[in-house]
Amino acid sequence: MKHLLMAATCVCASVAAQAELTLQEIHTASKDVLVAYFKSTVVDANEVNTTNLPAWKLNGQPVTAINKFVTEADACEHHIYLQVPTLVNGTTYTLETPHGQKSFVFDERSTFCESIKSNQSGYSALSKVRYANFAIWLGDGGNRKIAGDLPGYTVFKMATGATVTQGTLQAIGEDASSGDYVYRIDLSAVPEGGPYRISVKGYGCSYPIGVGGDFSRRLGYVAFRSLYHRNCLGLSRA
């Protein structure tokens, strides 16, 4: 009985530890919007306290607005959008929240920007037309246009940091299906290979991308894997 009680205590402690709300990462959505990314095993859209505005500070200064987007699954994910002063590349910041704090260096070549939408499975080397999109979306704060001149972007090789192409975002306009105001990043000059990252000046960078068979064959894997899970769940049966 004593061993059973000890085992039960360990299980309860483990569940409690896993259920703890944690600040996982800090992303950007714009040059003046940080994203505090939290995860929790508690499915509660209001678990992150966004009503106490003064409790959210960047380098000791309160943020001026908060928006959020929450996905509720086995692990609840909270994207908290924080209006802050314009970020300066290479600067160290400390973000204080009601649920802990985290220090980070804003680097437009390594800080992930959620507004850069790229094909993470891979781009075909046979295609002469390749794009990524850029669209600022702040959860319940909706979309946002870029104020002022459009920023430049650079595509660089992750292994060496060498630039492979660069340009300026091109405004496409509002997309009726998503509600986003879309800007386009031309990747047609990116050579076969990778992995690469897209860096938008003042905003941050994308997830890794690649061009060619070593990357695009993952498209087939992802498609067939989804069919496998669909069949396992019995979703193919009427």
Domain CATH for 57:
2.60.40
Residue 1 falls inside a structural domain:
no
pLDDT at 83: 98
- The partner residues of 113 in beta bridges, in order of sequence, read 28
pLDDT at 235: 56
pLDDT at 10: 44
131 and 185 Cβ atoms separated by less than 8 Å: yes
209 shares a domain with 137: yes
pLDDT at 72: 87
130 shares a domain with 169: yes
Residue 144 falls inside a structural domain:
yes
Burial of 46 (0-12, 13-18, 19+ CB in 10 A): exposed
Q: Along the chain (238 residues), what's the average pLDDT of each consecutive run of 10 residues?
A: 42 47 96 97 93 97 97 90 98 97 97 95 89 97 95 98 97 92 97 96 97 78 76 60
pLDDT at 19: 57
Q: How many domains does the chain have?
A: 2
pLDDT at 234: 63
Q: How far apart are CA 187 and CA 200, in angstroms?
A: 13
pLDDT at 12: 40
pLDDT at 75: 85
* Predicted structure pTM score: 0.84
